[in-house]
Structure 1
């Protein structure tokens, strides 16, 4: 069950979700008609749903959804939002009907809100690896070639990908193993390998979250 949020906090969450990146207060005001300040901001920060920091010469706030924030939005969509209340705006009720339809689509297509709304530049390398893996894996925890994974990541620096994979591997979320049939490896497969503990690893599996 998701935490119940105030109307302004809920509006901020959904606005940050749709924009899918860091959003300055000034832009939030232009898009949604309000800024995220005071207790509304600190409340979302304390819940871990929104990360806020002061930037620029004016030290104004910039906000972005955290992983927990994305999860809250998904849960809110699945629940269909708060029950209609007497005197509630028909537009607010209709909004949750639309969001409920979006939740059904996500479940049917096995997608996440992040896949739809997050801007590529806003995604961390670790999250881009997870997204690429989900697009390539034919079944949960299925094995995917690192060559195919790197192709999905485009021109991302190979050393940065290596470091991210090793970090994820150390947490147990990612499993890296060598290809047993070395003769089946192409030159590209060998070049894409990640070396850990003196051994080249060619395949990746990620735990379902």
Structure 2
């Protein structure tokens, strides 16, 4: 039997399993309604199940090999972790997970074989193209400024992957990243979407034609 985790930690682990890649807190919030923060995050980090790194203002999480192994055991647990939830759906979910676990074992499959394809980082050139397309959709004039908080949701990639491409575009002079002058207008979402370069948070992007 696996070491059981709390309900929220278990949900986070299974979500990271299914997505099979780095997942930033904003995406967790959008997909499952919560973020992985505070004691719940640090406990998973300390256990060696999850790595969490800062990307801008937010954390990005990914399962470790030990985390994948925990998920494989959890699928065969048969019942939800205590305290036993009132929802019948949760009990049925574990029945389904157990059936899937039996199917996987019969075929000698690892969870990474099933969900691992999405763990491969997207080629930088493909993500750069998507950034350029999203920028053109948002910009109002040639080489105008677009807020990163508006750009990121259109990309379907982790914050860490996007940051790598944006930093390379900035370094090569193909794009420019600057802070918002009027800091009073910045929202929590703006701060979370910012990219930190040279010790400064940048909120706006302009791409050369």
TM-score of the aligned structures, taking structure 1 as reference length: 0.54
CA 109–11 in structure 1, closer or farther in 2 if over 3 Å, else same? same
Runs of 5+ in structure 1 lacking a partner? 123-209
Runs of 5+ in structure 2 lacking a partner? 122-209
Matches within 5 A, 1:115-130: 115-118=113-116, 119-121=118-120
CA 83–37 in structure 1, closer or farther in 2 if over 3 Å, else same? closer
- Residue in structure 1 matched with residue 55 of structure 2 by the alignment: 55
Aligned residues: 121
CA 120–74 in structure 1, closer or farther in 2 if over 3 Å, else same? same
- Residue in structure 1 matched with residue 25 of structure 2 by the alignment: 25
Q: How large is the Cα RMSD of the aligned pairs?
A: 2.0
Higher relative contact order (CA 8 A, sep 6+): 2
- Residue in structure 2 matched with residue 40 of structure 1 by the alignment: 40
Instruction: Answer yes or no: is the 8 Å Cα contact 2:23–2:62 preserved in 1.
Output: yes
Instruction: Answer yes or no: is the 8 Å Cα contact 1:53–1:63 preserved in 2.
Output: yes
Q: Distance in 1 between matches of 2:68 and 2:58?
A: 23
SS at match of 1:21: coil
Q: Distance in 1 between matches of 2:55 and 2:107?
A: 38
Instruction: Answer yes or no: is the 8 Å Cα contact 1:84–1:93 preserved in 2.
Output: no
1:121 offset after TM fit, Å?
A: 1.1
Q: Distance in 1 between matches of 2:81 and 2:25?
A: 30
CA 70–81 in structure 1, closer or farther in 2 if over 3 Å, else same? farther
